[in-house]
Chain A
Amino acid sequence: MFGYIAKRIVTGVGILLVIVTIVFIAIQTVPGDPALVLLAGNGGAGQVSPEALDALRARLGLDRPVLEQYLSYMGGLLTGDLGTSFQLQRPVTELILGRLPNTLELVAIVAVIATALGVFIGASAARGGRAANTIMSLFTALGISAPVYVIGTVLVYVAAVSLRILPAGGFVQFDQDPGRHIQLLILPTLAIAVGLTSVIARTTRSAVLETADQDWVRTATAIGLSRGQVFRGSVLRNSLTPVATVVGLEIGTLLGATVLVERVFSWPGLSTLLIDGVSTRDYPVIQGVVIVTAGLFVAINILVDVLYTVLDPRARLS
């Protein structure tokens, strides 16, 4: 079993390496002079002085041979150095670490709520009759179709502007004002959770329906177990693997959704860093965020794989 986990970790690290390399190559392949592209920015504001250009090139290391750039880049990564932001003149690592906890807070809370709720809804629908299934299908279809920013803005409109029961956005440190902190957490969490819950509910429902067709479920009934026992022990338990897979994959979408929602609600997570970075073409920041999110995704999926070995003994031996 540990061999399996080790193999997964190695694979994960490998993927991360490839991503990091691709990110590196991407900047090299930008059409034209990367430094010019990055400096000219939005709307190509005026002239760009040759000194600024040279300075940027030096800072990006573009004047050095490619291989040397790559090695120093990788070396930097290993020590946790993600470069320095153009705009803010501060180390990217520091910027990211300042914002990451806020994003992770949202991600974690949404993941837990959405998984619990989604599995419950999906499993219930699978056991229910035609009506329950149709209702669930329609609601979840709506849930996955409404973009996060639409739900967010509509929520702001309804809850904050019309009904005035919740604040429209903002942030307060938990230790400073826990009550308000939680209040500010509600809408963003809701906005993201709707989509994720719907996806998980759908996956759970189809996994349960498919498992319910399997022969061992009939065996469980034949040895005299009650419907509830059969469902819990032989259907639900066996459906967890596909659900776990989907949750792992959806983390990626979840991270993206969080970015959008943070913008809607002015939640100071990675999104501000990212979006401002894109508009100002602050490449080191973008690069840093991409690498960190990829790393997060890989790490979470390794955890999911480990969860697999618990859920499905066949995985342990492969």
Chain B
Amino acid sequence: MKTRSLVSVVRSLSPVTLVALVVTVAIILLAIAAPLVAPFDPVVLDAAGRFAPVGDPNHLLGADQYGRDTLSRLLYGARVELLTAASASVLSMAVGTVIGLVAGYYQRFVGAVLMRFIDVVLALPALILALFAVTLYGPGEATLIIVMGLVFTPAFARIAYGQTLTVAQAEYVESARLFGASDLAILFREILPNILAPLVVQFTLTVASAILLESGLSYLGLGIVPPAPSWGAMVADGQRYMATEPQLLLLPALAVVISILAVALLADGLRTALNPRSHRRSA
């Protein structure tokens, strides 16, 4: 197994992956810079600019039924999407990895119990679990982040579990134990660094899934609380006027698809790059 520098990894990425990486980084930067870049405050109404078309001098990408500037709403929407998605992904990665590590290392009882817990979480469809949480705790970012964190934990736990099972058998782990390393040291110094690659890939995928899930909830009106902008809600609004003003539907739809696609392709590319064996031949 090779330990490669970051530079060599980046250099080995396929063109598609590089494009995906660039787009992702661009979206992240735009999201961070939204307050500086956006021409308008996204919730400000502008009666004169209602249904402004694309290319209007005041509203570059048009405006919605309340005259709110589409471009600004898209940018601020990006902010919210990425923030919630990233937070949820970090949360689920941390929790899931720890669960998987512990379950994989201590197999006997602890392992079985933990993995059963994972099975329980898996048994509930993400959307439905999210709706359940919203019913109880109300909509809003905090609820969303926690629920999404929960929903995506099993994937990390399973990966960490599987990888830990394999790595824990390695002789260098036995060696560390023999020479007196504490369990904690073994988990974090010997095992964790050697199971990171698939977890990183999963993190990227999770960000994509989180954006997907969150925008779905917002579409239903049960995600980000309006009037704060969110792409899903924008699609829902746009659907109402699609006969006459299709851009209200298509622009946010495009934003959602492009972001998720970029992150998903990046995940694909990372998986190939970090995998010692890449499938280049046909069956």
Contacts and interface: CB of A to CB of B under 8 A. Distances in A.
Interface of A: 11, 14-16, 18-19, 22-23, 26-27, 30-31, 37, 126-130, 133-134, 137-138, 141-142, 144-150, 153-154, 156-157, 161, 206, 208-212, 231, 235, 249, 252-257, 259-260, 263-264, 274-275, 277-279, 281, 283, 286, 289-290, 293-294, 297-298, 301
Contacts of B268: 137, 141
Nearest to A27: B136
A252 B132 contact: no
Given A15-B120, A141-B268, A208-B283, A293 B216 contact: no
B127 A127 contact: no
Interface in B241-255: 242-243, 246, 249-250, 253
B283 A297 contact: no
B110 interface: no
Nearest to A274: B131
Interface string B213-243: 0011001111000000000100110110011
Interface string B125-150: 11111011011110000000000000
A147 B257 CA distance: 7
Most buried by A among B16, B128, B280: B128
Contact of A19 (B16, B120, B219): B120
B227 to A, nearest CB: 14
B282 interface: yes
A141 B123 contact: no
Among all A-B residue pairs, the 10 with the closest Cβ atoms: A256-B127, A212-B283, A145-B260, A145-B261, A252-B125, A256-B125, A209-B279, A255-B125, A150-B253, A126-B283
A301 B124 CA distance: 12
Contacts of B260: 145-147
A35 to B, nearest CB: 13
Contacts of B232: 147, 149
A130 to B, nearest CB: 8
Given A128-B282, A129-B282, A157-B249, A253 B125 contact: yes
Contacts of A235: 283
Contacts of A161: 242-243
Given A128-B282, A274-B128, A275-B220, A150 B257 contact: yes
Interface residues of B, number: 49
A150 B256 contact: yes
B116 interface: yes
Contacts of B212: 145, 147
Contacts of B16: 134, 137-138
Contacts of A256: 125-128, 216
Contact of A289 (B122, B128, B250): B128
B128 A293 contact: yes
B264 A149 contact: no
B119 interface: yes
A157 B240 CA distance: 11
Contacts of A289: 128
Given A129-B282, A153-B235, A206-B279, A145 B264 contact: yes
A286 B265 contact: no
B208 interface: yes
A141 B264 contact: yes
Interface string B143-166: 000000000000000000000000
A142 B257 contact: yes
A153 B238 CA distance: 9
Contact of B124 (A127, A133, A147, A294): A294
Nearest to A248: B122
18 contacts: A15-B119, A27-B136, A37-B136, A133-B282, A145-B257, A147-B219, A147-B257, A153-B238, A154-B250, A156-B239, A208-B283, A212-B282, A235-B283, A255-B125, A257-B127, A259-B128, A275-B131, A289-B128
A293 B137 contact: no
A149 B242 contact: no
Contacts of B238: 153
A19 B146 CA distance: 18
A283 B280 CA distance: 52
Contacts of B250: 154, 157
A298 B128 contact: no
Contact of B216 (A14, A129, A149, A156): A149
Nearest to A132: B282
Given A147-B232, A148-B216, A150-B257, 18 more contacts: A19-B124, A127-B283, A141-B261, A144-B264, A147-B212, A149-B215, A153-B238, A153-B239, A157-B249, A208-B283, A210-B279, A252-B124, A255-B128, A256-B216, A259-B131, A274-B131, A279-B221, A286-B132
